[in-house]
Amino acid sequence: MAHQATAGTHVELLNRRLLKRPELAALIGVIASQWAELESDLTFLYATLLGKYLPHIQEDGPPTHPIGFQIFDALENLHKRTQLIERLAEELIVNEDLVKELKDVLLPLIKNAGRRRNDLIHAYWGTNDNYPDALIRISVSEPWMIYKASDFNEAIDLIIRSSNAITDFEVKVKEFLKGTEQPY
């Protein structure tokens, strides 16, 4: 877990300073990439909830719903996207256990991963030669924090767990929808 920098820690703020810590810079890139995968998984869950499947070139690929994708992509942030998924699930899934799992387990997991991602991707980073295997997160309103590879890997693991949970939930939704008549 990240720990607080000692008072008076000097931080180097040279341009391209992350290049001084290439392994850690790469882990920040992995966080961004894994988050893009999670957002893609949310998009497929959204398409599944819409219940419309259109042909595509992947034999066993995810559901596609081009108009739905345009709507989902127009939403600017995670809160709005998860809110749309929640409302759509409440409307279309009459299985209380599935809706409860979405609200009580999946959405809090995704939101937690989103907070961790935002804290790291939108951070202002510095370096200090006394911490050769770390980056220092600089903040105006909070103590400066020291992050090592393990801290970034924890965030990556959380995002991957969240992404896998979305996929697992989508499978449950597909199974449920197979056995119900859709109103559209």
Q: What predicted TM-score, i.e. pTM, was given to this entire model?
A: 0.86
Q: What is the mean pLDDT of residues 110-122?
A: 96
Q: What is the mean pLDDT of residues 29-49?
A: 91
Is residue 19 one of the residues assigned to a domain? Answer: yes
Is residue 178 one of the residues assigned to a domain? Answer: no
Range of the domain at 43: 3-51+62-173
Mean per-residue pLDDT of the chain: 88
How many distinct structural domains can be found in the chain?
A: 1
Distance CA 148, CA 125 (A): 12
What proportion of the chain, given as a percentage, has pLDDT over 90?
A: 59
Greater model confidence, 1 or 124: 124
pLDDT band, residue 117 (cuts 50/70/90): very high
